[in-house]
Structure formats: C-alpha cells, structure tokens
C-alpha cells in the first residue's frame, strides 16, 4: 500500500452538477498531483499542488480546480459536470527533492460516473 487514500471510492452524478474529490497524501509528502483516466486510456495530468500552490496544469478547462491544505491533503473540484468527465480520478503524492522527477505514489482512485 502507498499510504495515499482517496474518497469517495465511487460517485454518481448528473450533468451540470458539481463534485469534490479528496486525497490524503502519504506522510511526509508535500506534493499532490491529480490525473484523469478515461476507460481504455492512460492517465492524463490535470494539475499539481506544491505547498498549497498550483504548480503546473495540464490541458483541462477552468471548471477543474483544486486546493491543497496545510497538512498537504488535497481536493479536486469539478463544476458543470459533462458526460465526458466520467473517469477514474487518481491522485499521486510525492516529496519535492529537486531531482529530475520525484517518484509519485498513486492512491486507489475515485471512479466518477456522470449520467
């Protein structure tokens, strides 16, 4: 187990609704990254948070937003849900060490279904 937890495990919403997903990072990790994995695809980077600041963003619209808290846990918020938002949402925590790429440890994911 990676020590990264996510909640809820499954969620069903309807188009136009808003959703908040949560992630608790591994102890001692100060960086959280969020990814979206559609069925049959590899995960796609949404954004990363480091010390409560957004630190990089992928090609996702502004209705995808996030937060990181002082204890380094994080939230992903998606407004105005669309059918294509149905996916597995993964968070990954890591420690910023200043190396080329810090190893990211993934949580079990939240499976979101939009009807």
Cβ proximity to other proteins: between 78 and 94 the closer is 94
In whole angstroms, the minimum distance from the beta carbon of 45 to other proteins comes to: 4
Cβ proximity to other proteins: between 18 and 96 the closer is 96
Cβ proximity to other proteins: between 7 and 17 the closer is 7
In whole angstroms, the minimum distance from the beta carbon of 84 to other proteins comes to: 17
Q: Which residues contact 89 (CB under 8 A, 6 or more apart)?
A: 6, 21, 34, 35, 36, 37, 76, 109, 110, 111, 112
In whole angstroms, the minimum distance from the beta carbon of 48 to other proteins comes to: 6
Distance, CA of 48 to CA of 37 (rounded, Å): 16
Cβ proximity to other proteins: between 38 and 80 the closer is 38
Binding site for other proteins (CB under 8 A): 2, 33, 35, 40-45, 48, 55-56, 58, 90, 92, 94, 99-109
CA angle 107, 69, 12 (to 5 degrees): 50
């Amino acid at each position: 187990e990676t020590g990264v937890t996510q909640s809820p495990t499954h969620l069903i919403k309807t188009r136009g609704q808003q959703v908040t997903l949560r992630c608790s990072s591994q102890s001692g990790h100060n960086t959280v990254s969020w990814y979206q994995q559609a069925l049959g695809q590899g995960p796609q980077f949404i954004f990363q948070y480091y010390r409560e600041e957004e630190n990089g963003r992928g090609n996702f619209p502004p209705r995808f937003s996030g937060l990181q808290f002082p204890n380094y846990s994080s939230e992903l918020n998606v407004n105005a849900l669309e059918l294509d938002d149905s996916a597995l949402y993964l968070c990954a925590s890591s420690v910023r060490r200043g190396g080329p790429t810090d190893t990211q440890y993934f949580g079990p994911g939240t499976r979101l279904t939009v009807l």
